[in-house]
Chain A
Amino acid sequence: MSSGDGSSEPSSKISKISKKPRYSRFTQQELPACKPILTPGLVITILISLAIIFIPIGLSSISASENVVELVDRYDDVCIPSNSSNHDEKIGFIQDAATNKTCFRTWIVPKKMNHPIFVYYQLDNFYQNHRRYVKSRSDHQLWSPKSERATKLCEPEAQNDDDKPIVPCGLIAWSLFNDTYRFSRNDDAIEINKKDIAWGSDRTKKFGSDVYPKNFQTRGLIGGAKLNESIPLSQQEDLIVWMRTAALPSFRKLYGRIETDLEANDKITIEIQNNYNTYSFNGRKKLVISTTTWIGGKNDFLGRMYMTVGGTSLFFAIAFSILFVIKPR
């Protein structure tokens, strides 16, 4: 806390001429400046312009959200035998490889849905953002076959029982979602396009085209899907989508696209292979089909928020104007 150095500014003013620092407008803090001041006029102008911007955006996003047609169906609770009511029975059912897990659901399309229609699976109460989980991967291994032993963070799914590295290693890959859906309308199968569901950037730069799954899901506990060892990772799009871990514990993952329009009142039958174990942690599985608009999926929140902010601004603009007329400062 001692003198001199800390006091450059005052001392520059007062030291002897011989010590006078070179004058510059910066050090003397005499740069040209503009000094805006909040005046009632300015405040009201700002508030009104906020209202003018926010209310239209709010309206349009509400209408966009309204235009989204979204069908959501929770199936994890119905796609198990009705006799397995308690927790352990559910887990026993889902872990038993021998049981028939096929399940049929029927939907009526409420409104016309224009293609592309996005098919998502939604998991609730699944913490893909769990610290242990998000770290349990090896990006090096995914990209380059040379790094297949880079499995330090992947425990407990780093190596198989023979100490061979698992590719892709880690909990994320191990827990790959493995329910499958087959859509049909009036007994005509609706094709689900599973191409290009993953980000192009991931396919070209993150998942190597010469990296093939190895020793995957070979150990005692099966976490989820198995991978075809003859297809390189860059083409395992389900895996790539799954590996983009979700931000929030309730998330959707793109399953595929339906490239045809669905008319209102179409009756759609979905054949679900209910393989994935969400019963162990009380998770929920939902199947979602949805169209999109500029705002994304169905979500009223943003529109409402914009309306609120815009409305508040307008209210205050008016209130302040009145205040200034009645009781100026």
Chain B
Amino acid sequence: MASDSQIEINENSYKIPDFTRNSSSQRSISSIQSIQSKTSVREVGFSSELGSKPIKYGSRGADSRGLSTSYKEINDEDARLVYVNDPVRTNDKFELAGNSIRTAKYSILTFLPRNLFEQFHRVAYIYFLVIAILNQLPQLAVFGREASILPLAFVLFVTAVKDAYEDYRRHRSDKIENNRLAWVLSNEKFEQKKWKNICVGEIIKVSGNETLPCDMVLLSTSDATGVAYVQTTNLDGESNLKTRYAKQETQMRNPQEEKISGLIKCEKPNRNIYGFQANMDIDGKRISLGPSNIILRGCELKNTDWAIGVAVYAGKETKAMLNNSGAPSKRSRLESRMNREIIYLSIFLVTLCTIVCICHGVWLRRHNDELDLMQFYRKKDYSEPEVENYEYYGWGMEIFFVFLMALNINEDLGQIKYVFSDKTGTLTENKMEFQCASIGGVDYDNGKASTEDDRIGHSIQADGMVLKPKMTVKLDSELLNLSKRKHTDDGRHVRDFFMALAACNTIVPLTVETSDPAVKLIEYQGESPDEQALVYAAATYGFMLIERTSGHIVIDIQGERQRFNVLGLHEFDSERKRMSVILGCPDNTVKLFVKGADTSMFSVIDKSSNSNMVKATEAHLNSYSSKGLRTLVIGMRELSASEFEQWQSSYESASTAVMGRAGLLRKVANNIENHLNSLGASGIEDKLQQGVPEAIESLRMAGIKVWVLTGDKQETAISIGYSSKLLTSKMTQIVINNNSKDSCKKSLEDALLLCKKLTTVSDATRGGPGAGIGQLALIIDGTSLVYILDTELEEQLFELASRCTVVLCCRVAPLQKAGIVALIKHRTDDMTLAIGDGANDVSMIQKADVGIGISGQEGRQAVMASDFAMGQFRFLVPLLLVHGHWNYQRMSYMILYNFYRNAVFVLVLFWYVLFTSFTLTTAITDWSSVLYSVIYTSLPTIVVGVLDKDLSRATLLKYPQLYGAGQRSESYNGKLFWVMILDTLWQSVVAFFVPFLAYWESDVDGSSLGDLWTIAVVVMVNIHLAMDVIRWYWITHAAIWGSIIATFICVMIIDAVPILPGYWAFFHIADTKLFWVCLLGITVGALVPHFAVKFVQYYRPNNIQIAREAEKFGNSRESPDAQIEMNPIFDPPHRSGG
């Protein structure tokens, strides 16, 4: 019923003398009409599709599209019936949720199974558990029984305790929330009741600044016209006030005195916070209800003394709770990769075990009859000898520990392909600032230095109180002086200009107490931040809007309070792109003030009278917009009495029209908005955060697609797109702005066609400078997304979006943001990152692979839900380009390296097993096997994994293209993995067989040879790492060489224990030259292929290699190379569009 209510306001506004009676009668007429023709229901359908703030589109043209929209009646089976003030009956038929909420995951009973179930999602744990269970069988025990269970149990326990504590806190906050009190009507009067006991159907009274306990349909408010203001920060992150309306039929009633009963038939609970459809049968009349008649749980009532409503959705069925997707346990890409690695590892080990099992089985079979006599085998009971083979799992266990160390989500930062960004507070500072004005053809730029005193701005004294605007703008002293001259021509012009700023808007002024009781601040609340900025500017120049009711406004003009009657208001709509207000001034003149976008204004401005001035204004406008300012042109006209009457009658008939009311209203507006005198233009800066355009430029160069998802309206989003360099004038814009599934489908298909055409065109011109023209920008709004997400159209949208360089989504609900992220996430393997600052970004942040919270003005929710927190958007660039890159390079190398170093060791053990009649003897002592991952090779891994940098910060920031290495998975991919496997095989073969052949048929004993193998593998593995280290710090040296020395020392210590079989073996073997010759031979022989691969890398350099060399040798020789090599990344078609 949005547009309906809107009109009602308008009706109210011009019938000043007796508006209450008059308007209510009109209203009831219109309501009756709507019942008869059911048009209003249709319009409800339309306006709910429009989005959250139908008030904006009051006179928006609904005729063409509205008519095509089919009539929507709520089916009985899809409906929920709420008997007003009769909760018993309401809850009788349906199982409706109570109002108690539950965000906690577990209860005492379910905690253990659920928590364990969640924890065992990690394959590693299962793997670990299997090993631990195997270890419980006496025949298979490698370690002690307890020892094998303890680590797993410890990890599980710690995680469980952490989860339990978090859940306990959730329980507690749930309890607090559920026990809050609300005034609920029972037995003809309002009584306090706990939130959790509120039932659907009950009538609830909420006072100002209170939070709403559930979703309710407004019945009446303290305001005579039935207006209530709510703040929806918790829902959509917007901090301005939104207007909601009580229906006139219920407005005047006091439920305490007069029993209200009725039936509300509404939709089933859903997540759409901007949509609501219902009918209310009351007193035999049927009224339709729209999104402007419902106030949602989590909102705060502001600027309204009280509001009475009937609960329609409660508890977990409220839109707020449905939009709270809970805190999903985010599984990082790395974690799933680790799961995969562990599965590989298990397969690897099981394969080795199987090979050994089979070999051993064959060996036993062949020697079956000899076993009893064999000196080295003899055993009375030799059933099931194969089971010993499971001891391989012991090795697996060691390897597992190492893999855990590599765990870190940071690696994901290096592979981001999509950045989903919130706009408000993320890209912008969420502060509009009036910058400059062109009045009467003269440019008043605040740049002309103003003194500090001027900044104090205007304040007024009233009843011993000082009223000040909350924010001031920089004052232009010349302009200020001019505005005080009432009687000059220029002065009048300026005064009219500021009058227009102060009056032509929908801003609601609020007074705010300050610490000084004598001073009060005036805060302007409104849906459009531009208007806020303009009103603040006017206030600073002494035109202070003090009061607004539906019928009049009070403006303090330089100390003199004046009351203006608001005779008419034509709301902003995107077709006219302007709004106008008709004021009845104290001097009994009627004035029309219009403000709007320059394109729409110049067509209605009377250029003949003052063409020079218009031209000058136009020139100023161009210079403003080139500075990235948002411009508005302001015009006015004095209306003659006849003109006014003519308008009034047509306005009345238009606003009571049954069919195509919005179109008629627009026509009325168009008729009156002409022959305007241009007053001037304003330039408002939507302050982008520092460095945002540069950041976006860098991200784009890095091949990252930036999507902006915002709750703002389309025009705002686009203008921010331009000022943040997200959109450029070269781009072709595709706008999808539909309100039915079919039209969405059609526009998607059209867009895809266009897009293909453009791609082919740009393909044709490829290589030329025109390549960039093919860039596409997709602009889509939340309403269209409703029809696209979760339907088969998703696929098309994805295809389209992946072809576009830039995607702007406006008017999106929190969960839609998550839906868009999911759209990308489910269809590609590309990494996604979401960044935002408000509570409305939480779901998106949780959905994306990496979530970043900006700790801004909109509270902490985003930060709490995020993986990383930062102060400003621009820090995203170093985070991704520098740290993300480093982490990616380090982690991907470390994953390969860790696999390699463990596999080499296991393979050396494995080769030996082939020569022990497959019985899993290890020549390497047990101690060395354990210490291998703990001491011998772990420290260098950590140090290099933490400290190594392939490129310096400066280089990475200078060449964002280098980030592409991560997106293309250059450092970890299938090819590298298999190359690494081959290298591992080769190295293990060398490490094993060189000593094997050198000591074949000699008198060497197992322990000595084992020591040689241990040391050879450790030296080899560490030098392998050393060859790959890019930056040598002293710590790196210490770690790598220190580890080798530590290995020698450890081996010596182990061999100095007399009770071990290998006593003194190392000292014996190290005493022979053969040992050292073998060691040198192994190290060099094993690493030759690795060296060769590195050399090939040099010969066929990638970007990183080139940049490294450029860094090292300066730009003298290498940089031209670098440029040439890097160029291809600029080319958009190289992006693997999905």
Contact = CB atoms under 8 A, between A and B. Distances in A.
A29 B947 contact: yes
A190 B1123 CA distance: 81
B1009 interface: yes
Contacts of A122: 1001
A247 B1009 contact: yes
Contacts of A140: 1059
A309 B1092 CA distance: 13
B921 A11 contact: no
B599 to A, nearest CB: 40
A245 B376 CA distance: 11
Contacts of B585: none
A297 interface: yes
B1003 A251 contact: yes
Contacts of B1060: 139
Contacts of B875: 10, 13-14
Interface string A103-136: 0000000000000000010100011111111100
A305 B1086 CA distance: 12
A22 interface: no
Contacts of B921: 129-131, 134
B375 interface: yes
Given A128-B376, A247-B923, A302-B1081, A205 B1058 contact: yes
B64 interface: no
B330 A247 contact: no
Nearest to A303: B1077
A3 to B, nearest CB: 5
Interface string A236-279: 00000000111111111110000000000000000000000100
B870 interface: yes
A31 B853 CA distance: 30
A217 interface: no
Interface stretch (B283-291, B465-473, B1093-1101): B1093-1101
B401 interface: no
A127 B376 contact: yes
Given A199-B1068, A305-B994, A320 B999 contact: no
Contacts of A246: 1003-1006
B378 A171 contact: yes
A232 B417 CA distance: 76
Interface stretch (B21-29, B52-60, B111-119, B1030-1038): B1030-1038
A15 B376 CA distance: 67
Nearest to A95: B373
B888 to A, nearest CB: 13
A91 to B, nearest CB: 7
A61 interface: yes
Interface string B1013-1037: 0000000000000000011111100
A31 B947 contact: yes
Given A3-B868, A54-B1084, A137-B1061, A245 B1000 contact: no
Contacts of B438: none
B936 to A, nearest CB: 21
A7 B331 CA distance: 16
Contact of B1002 (A2, A205, A252): A252
A38 B994 contact: no
A11 B949 CA distance: 18
Given A10-B879, A14-B875, A130-B919, A295 B1077 contact: yes
Interface residues of A, number: 91
Contacts of B916: 127, 129-131, 249
Nearest to A72: B1001
A168 to B, nearest CB: 13
A281 B1002 CA distance: 21
B920 interface: yes
Nearest to A323: B1099
A296 B1074 contact: yes
Which one of B373, B380, B1101 has the greatest number of beta carbons of chain A within 10 Å?
A: B373
B827 interface: no
A130 B1095 contact: no
Nearest to B1030: A35
Interface string A308-321: 01001100100010
Contacts of A33: 1031-1033
A163 B618 CA distance: 114
A3 B867 contact: yes
B194 interface: no
A227 B333 CA distance: 65
A248 B1098 contact: no
Given A132-B919, A201-B1067, A251-B1001, A38 B1095 contact: yes
Contacts of B1008: 247
B878 interface: yes
Contacts of A155: 379
A219 B139 CA distance: 28
A312 B1031 contact: no
A329 interface: yes
B450 to A, nearest CB: 30
Interface in A12-63: 13-16, 26, 29, 31-40, 43, 46, 50, 53-54, 57, 61
A316 to B, nearest CB: 8
Contacts of B1030: 35
A220 B328 CA distance: 70
A247 B335 contact: no
Contact of B869 (A11, A174, A299): A11
A206 interface: yes
A247 B1006 contact: yes
A149 B373 CA distance: 25
Contacts of A128: 376, 1006
B229 to A, nearest CB: 33
Contact of A133 (B377, B853, B947, B1078): B377
A157 to B, nearest CB: 8
A7 B1033 contact: no
A247 B1063 contact: no
B1081 A306 contact: yes
Interface in A149-201: 155-156, 171, 174-175, 199, 201
B749 interface: no
Contacts of A137: 1061
Given A32-B1033, A132-B376, A202-B1064, A38 B1098 contact: yes
B375 A11 contact: no
Given A11-B870, A32-B1033, A38-B1095, A205 B1063 contact: yes
Contacts of A91: 373
B1006 A294 contact: no
Interface in B1057-1082: 1058-1061, 1063-1064, 1067-1068, 1072-1074, 1077-1078, 1080-1081
B1063 A201 contact: yes
Interface of A: 1-4, 6-7, 9-11, 13-16, 26, 29, 31-40, 43, 46, 50, 53-54, 57, 61, 91, 120, 122, 126-134, 137, 139-140, 143, 155-156, 171, 174-175, 199, 201-202, 205-206, 221, 223-224, 244-254, 277, 280-282, 294-297, 299, 301-302, 305-306, 309, 312-313, 316, 320, 329
Given A10-B413, A295-B1077, 4 more contacts: A129-B916, A244-B1007, A247-B999, A301-B997
19 contacts: A1-B332, A3-B866, A3-B869, A10-B878, A11-B868, A14-B870, A14-B879, A37-B1112, A131-B920, A132-B379, A175-B375, A223-B378, A246-B1004, A246-B1006, A250-B1000, A251-B1004, A280-B374, A302-B1077, A309-B1081
Interface of B: 329-332, 335, 367, 370, 373-380, 388, 408-410, 413, 853, 863-864, 866-872, 875, 878-879, 883, 915-917, 919-921, 923, 947, 949, 994, 996-1010, 1030-1035, 1058-1061, 1063-1064, 1067-1068, 1072-1074, 1077-1078, 1080-1081, 1084-1085, 1088, 1091-1092, 1094-1095, 1098-1099, 1101, 1108-1109, 1111-1112
- For the complex of A and B, list the 7 residue pairs with the smallest distance between their C-beta atoms, beginning with the closest: A175-B375, A201-B1064, A131-B919, A133-B376, A247-B1009, A280-B373, A33-B1031
